[in-house]
Amino acid sequence: MTDTQTDGPYRTPGVRAADGLTPHGERPRPRPRRVDHLALLESHAIFVLREVAAESEHPVLLFSGGKDSAVLLHLAVKAFRPAGLPFPVMHVDTGHNFPEVIKFRDERVSQLGERLIVASVQDSIDRGRVPDPGQNASRNRLQTTTLLDAIAEHSFDACFGGARRDEDKARAKERVLSFRDTFGQWDPKRQRPELWHLYQGRVQPGEHVRAFPLSDWTELDIWQYIRREGIGLPDIYFAHRRLVVERDGMLLAVCDWVAPAPGEAVREETVRFRTVGDATCTGAVVSTARTVTQIIDEIAVSRVSERGATRADDRFSETAMEDRKREGYF
Amino acid sequence: MPRAGEIATDDTHDTGMDLLRFAAVGSVDDGKSTLIGRLLYDTRQLFDDQVAAVEAASARRGIGEVDLSFITDGLRAEREQGITIDVAYRYAATPRRKFVIADCPGHVQYTRNMATGASTADLALLVVDVVNGLREQTRRHACIAALLGVDQFVVCANKMDLVDWDEGAYREVTNDVRELAARLGVSSWQVIPVCALRGDNVVERSQAARFYEGPTVLEALEDAPAGAWASGHGTRSGAGARLPVQWVLRRPGGGRSYAGMVNGGALRAGDEVTVLPEGWRTTITGIETYDGPLDEAPAGISVSVDLADDLDVSRGDLLAVASDAPAVVKDLVATVCWFSDRPLRGGDRLRVKHTTRTTPARVSAVRGRLDVNRLQIDLATELANNEIGTVDLTTAVPLAVDPYRRDRITGSFVLIDEGTNATVAAGMVGEPHLAGDRAASSQALTASGSPA
Ligand SMILES: Nc1nc2c(ncn2[C@@H]2O[C@H](COP(=O)(O)OP(=O)(O)OP(=O)(O)O)[C@@H](O)[C@H]2O)c(=O)[nH]1
Ligand SMILES: [Mg+2]
């Protein structure tokens, strides 16, 4: 299915399956390191991970199973091996998942021997924390309550996230260390100054920071790094045949929560996903890219942004992301 | 212009391409966001859906044409008020190089955000409305950028359309910039007549400015040397290698190694180092990364190091090559940019975060305040919000500092309010940094070292 060892979905036998378990020093001596763009991005992300882990009491790494969180987890391993991660990994689970992503999540975390916390939106619904929007409605926005409840329950004071500034115009404004008040809110008019690489994440009890080590990475940087490092990903990122319906100009995968409405035709397409989120609002793109290199070539000439192509949740209003972030979203 | 997509994406070529980090600065409404929007639009960095969203947002507000400032002014409040509130970071690439762009706010109230954007920039794109010329806020931004160590200015004499491309207006800006740059010790500067609104001399050369034969804004940005933030996380050549200890890595089988990012210069296995502030001497026996050991770690790279001796080294300590170690001080003179409504006064207690150490500190005295119009330091006893001045600082534990001019990492700090935890100042260690030297207060004010 794939052409090279480190260039394909995570099931490819050649992908370094046990990375992270090998104590460093036992690996073959690496090629002399060129300090290029990706090396500097990697080094900075590792710096942020170590800095925040050292300065917070109860950090946590948010892991969705998507490509950005796969990169983030990989960087965390690089920052702290040969020891274990000094924080657990947490998935805010909408319940509207692609099974491939959950499988990848579980395999990856157990392979690394790290601790996984699953904060479930379904639980929040069952406990009456949020109204049930109905079986087929997007649970994207509901994640905020589940996330903030989990932060309170575990007394997390720092949450690592894989968000990038090139994703959205509100994210473009956010600090690497982004302060959240006791309500979990982001106030874009009152962000802390962030000078040089002096990241300052002191908080009072009940407050927390979100830390974004991938702030300065672009979508292209992420894929080039995935290729260089041989990072495994869920299969849905690579072209495959799938039943889809077209809705609001997006191709949604037909699944338990996405059924064709009257008048909508189901068809089979060769698609892949550019982002991974709630299945009810994450669109697929038509693509034949089956390897990381083919994906890099494809996004390099794409005329549509990553989220523009695939996220219904950003289409509600002009400032949908900002509004969600103000409420405490990722 | 080709857009990002048309550059080679081959791993070896693309990732080896050089990078420039620059910040758009200057007074409010002079056209920074419009200029950055124009630059991105005309180099086709924007995706179709992003252009469509900006068109729709402009139409919704009854703006006939596309408001290019909306490309970076992405917050609701920014679009409502028509000003930039906080820095927007954008990423661009032309066939020549990659860019990380910080579009800073001009309003004096958001000076702290401008300083944030400029603190990791290697070049300042200083935008001046040619109708008003250099204003106090233009000078403040230029001062802050220069203090932060930005030593290249590309100045845009913007809104040339409003003066009918009058050469005299352009010359006036050029003369003022020449004088300002000389006083600030900025050696590399040029002034480009532009109209950000229409795109003249931004990416496309303008027919309107017949008197001007220099580069367009894009050409100037492509030709500028890359600088220290692009290549080594702020490291400029000069200081010896340093490694502020971030984290102690324990090996499962026993033994410790010390993790952090190298700065100042390359660190090598076998180097004799001093552990500061303690002053212990030891030797680096190995430099580790997840990918394996290195003989040499260049500045800007995150590593962990093994030491020959079993010493009680912890986070906040600094390893420095023994031949060129920073000074260990509890009293220092520094230039600070103050960012709080509450004025800074002698006797104030704060926290200082310097490299990986945070410790209580007391401002023993405010010495002077920079008059940004006259570029002169006046005697002062307090600093108001957004003012720049020199202070004497006493820290609770000794810090290993270099003058900011030598090393941006060991020469910089932030001040933190003990009550609110807000970051309230950016600080740069002066030269000479020891308190008590009267000459220090004036010398500390220019990053280039020439007294203001
Ligand atoms: N006539 C004319 N107007 C311009 C030009 N460039 C910008 N403007 C206008 O100047 C106003 C301010 O532009 P912005 O780009 O928002 O200014 P800014 O410097 O980013 O402002 P802040 O970020 O708030 O400091 C807007 O109304 C622009 O349309 C120009 O070249 N000519
Ligand atoms: Mg602006």
pLDDT in tens, chain B (452 residues): 333 333 333 343 344 568 899 999 999 999 999 999 999 999 988 888 888 888 888 888 877 788 888 888 888 888 888 899 999 999 999 988 999 999 999 999 999 999 999 999 999 999 999 999 999 999 999 999 999 999 999 999 999 999 999 999 999 999 999 999 999 999 899 999 999 999 999 999 999 989 999 999 999 999 998 888 877 777 776 678 999 999 999 887 888 999 999 999 899 999 999 999 999 999 999 999 999 999 999 999 999 999 999 999 999 999 999 999 999 999 999 999 999 999 999 999 999 999 999 999 999 999 999 998 888 899 999 999 999 999 999 999 999 999 998 899 999 999 999 999 999 999 999 965 434 444 434 444 443 333 33
Looking at the structure, tell me whether residues B166 and B309 fall in a common domain: no
Looking at the structure, tell me whether residues B320 and B349 fall in a common domain: no
Q: State whether residue A31 sits within 8 Å of chain B by CB.
A: no
Looking at the structure, tell me whether residues B64 and B132 fall in a common domain: yes
Domain boundary among B305, B324, B343: B324
B48 CA distance to ligand 1 centroid (A)? 23
Q: State whether residue A7 sits within 8 Å of chain B by CB.
A: no
Looking at the structure, tell me whether residues B264 and B165 fall in a common domain: no
Looking at the structure, tell me whether residues B353 and B316 fall in a common domain: no
Q: What is the ipTM of this complex?
A: 0.90
**Radius of gyration over alpha carbons of chain B, in Å?**
23
Asked if residue B11 is part of any domain, the answer here is no
What is the number of the ligand closest to the CA of B26?
A: 1
Q: For the segment A128-185, what is each residue's pLDDT rounded down to a tens digit?
A: 777 777 766 666 777 788 888 899 899 999 999 999 999 888 899 999 999 998 888 8
Which of B156, B84, B148 is CA-nearest to residue B118? B148
Number of domains composing chain B: 3
The domain that holds B47 is classified in CATH as: 3.40.50.300
Asked if residue B234 is part of any domain, the answer here is no
Per the document, the length of chain A is 330
Instruction: Indicate left, alpha or beta for B233 from its phi (over 0: left) and psi (-120 to 50: alpha).
Output: left
Which amino acid type is present at position B368? G
Domains of chain A: 15-232+323-327 (3.40.50.620), 235-315 (no CATH)
What the block records as the tokens of B1 is 């212009």
CB of B126 closer than 6 angstroms to any ligand 1 atom: no
Asked if residue B105 is part of any domain, the answer here is yes
Give the model's pLDDT for residue B227.
80
Task: Output the residue whose Cα is nearest ligand 1's atom 27.
Answer: B29
The shortest C-alpha distance from A127 to chain B (Å) reads 34
A227 CA distance to ligand 1 centroid (A)? 41
* Closest Cα in chain B to A74: B290
Q: State whether residue A326 sits within 8 Å of chain B by CB.
A: no
CB of B66 closer than 6 angstroms to any ligand 1 atom: no
CB of B29 closer than 6 angstroms to any ligand 1 atom: yes
Q: What is the DSSP letter of B367?
A: E
> Measured between alpha carbons, how far is A311 from A329 in angstroms, rounded to an integer?
15
Looking at the structure, tell me whether residues B35 and B138 fall in a common domain: yes
Domain boundary among B192, B223, B254: B223
Looking at the structure, tell me whether residues B249 and B207 fall in a common domain: no
Asked if residue B450 is part of any domain, the answer here is no
Q: Which residues of A touch B416 (CB under 8 A)?
A: 200, 202
Asked if residue B98 is part of any domain, the answer here is yes
Q: State whether residue A30 sits within 8 Å of chain B by CB.
A: yes
Give the model's pLDDT for residue A4.
33
Cα A322 to Cα A160, A194, A229, B205: the distances in Å are 19, 20, 32, 37
Looking at the structure, tell me whether residues B303 and B202 fall in a common domain: no
Helix (H, G, I), strand (E, B) or coil at B411: coil
CB of B106 closer than 6 angstroms to any ligand 1 atom: yes
> Measured between alpha carbons, how far is B158 from B106 in angstroms, rounded to an integer?
14
Asked if residue B338 is part of any domain, the answer here is yes
Looking at the structure, tell me whether residues B185 and B256 fall in a common domain: no
Q: Which residues of B touch A50 (CB under 8 A)?
A: 246-247, 259-260, 302
Range of the domain at B309: 242-324
**Ordered alpha helix ranges (H), B333-417:** none
Cβ pair A163, A275 in contact under 8 A: no
Q: What is the mean pLDDT of residues A55-82?
A: 95
End-to-end CA distance of chain B: 42
Give the model's pLDDT for residue A191.
94
| Count of A-B CB contacts under 8 Å | 221
Say yes or no for a CB contact (<8 Å) between B100 and A46: no
Looking at the structure, tell me whether residues B216 and B102 fall in a common domain: yes
A260 pLDDT band, cuts 50/70/90, is: confident
Asked if residue B198 is part of any domain, the answer here is yes
Query: Which of B3, B6, B15 should we substitute to test contact with A (largest number of A Cβ atoms within 10 Å)?
Result: B15
Instruction: Indicate left, alpha or beta for B234 from its phi (over 0: left) and psi (-120 to 50: alpha).
Output: left
The domain that holds B357 is classified in CATH as: 2.40.30.10
Choose which residue among B78, B197, B201 to substitute to test ligand 1 binding: the one with the highest number of ligand atoms within 8 A of its C-beta: B197
Which of B94, B87, B93, B101 is CA-nearest to residue B21? B101
Which of A311, A164, A229 is CA-nearest to residue B91? A164
Torsion angle (degrees, nearest 10) of CA A277, A280, A285, A287: 90
CB of B83 closer than 6 angstroms to any ligand 1 atom: yes
Q: For the segment A80-106, what is each residue's pLDDT rounded down to a tens digit?
A: 998 899 999 999 988 788 888 999 999
Looking at the structure, tell me whether residues B41 and B179 fall in a common domain: yes
B145 CA distance to ligand 2 centroid (A)? 17
Instruction: Indicate left, alpha or beta for A263 from its phi (over 0: left) and psi (-120 to 50: alpha).
Output: left
Residues 6 or more apart whose Cβ sits within 8 Å of residue A234: A9, A10, A65, A66, A98, A100, A101, A103, A104, A276
From the list B5, B48, B119, the residue facing A196 with the nearest CB is B119
B33 CA distance to ligand 1 centroid (A)? 7
Q: Which residues of A touch B95 (CB under 8 A)?
A: none
Looking at the structure, tell me whether residues B294 and B257 fall in a common domain: yes
Say yes or no for a CB contact (<8 Å) between A322 and B75: yes
Instruction: Indicate left, alpha or beta for A260 from its phi (over 0: left) and psi (-120 to 50: alpha).
Output: beta
3 state SS for B156-212: EEECHHHHCCCHHHHHHHHHHHHHHHHHHCCCEEEEEECECCCCECCCECCCCCCCC
Mean pLDDT of chain A: 81
Within 10 A of A281 (CB to CB), how many other CB atoms are there? Answer: 25
Of the ranges A197-211, A256-270, B312-326, which one carries the lowest mean pLDDT score? A256-270
Give the model's pLDDT for residue A32.
43
What the block records as the tokens of B354 is 């310097």
Cβ pair A41, A221 in contact under 8 A: yes
Asked if residue B290 is part of any domain, the answer here is yes
From the list B19, B50, B413, the residue facing A308 with the nearest CB is B50
Which residues 174-233 on chain A approach chain B with CB closer than 8 angstroms? 175, 188-189, 191-198, 200, 202-204, 215-216, 218, 220, 224, 227-228
